[in-house]
Amino acid sequence: MHVEDVAIYDTTSTVPTLREQLESAQSLVAENIRQLPAVSAICNAATFEGSPSDLKRNIIGDATGKEI
């Protein structure tokens, strides 16, 4: 498994779009978006494999548990 897209409130982004948003976001907004993997891990039993700097990270966990 890998992350295809992310939804925050009413905005859905693909991984490349999310990276673009991180680069252009104000520092507080960017920091909140960077915390998304941590929030995802707290809310389900899945974990991300590899380093946060990896372009593609596998999700280890139940396939039905990846959505929040």
Where on the phi/psi map is residue 26: left (φ > 0), alpha (ψ -120 to 50), or beta? beta
SS (HEC) of 11-44: EEEEHHHHHHHHHHCCHHHHHHHHCHHHHHHHHC
| Alpha carbons 44 and 56: distance in angstroms, whole number | 20
| Alpha carbons 5 and 49: distance in angstroms, whole number | 17
pLDDT at 13: 84
For 4-57, write each residue's pLDDT tens digit. 777 777 888 888 888 888 888 888 888 888 887 777 666 666 677 888 788 788
| Alpha carbons 62 and 19: distance in angstroms, whole number | 25
User: What pLDDT band is residue 63 in, cutting at 50, 70 and 90?
Assistant: low
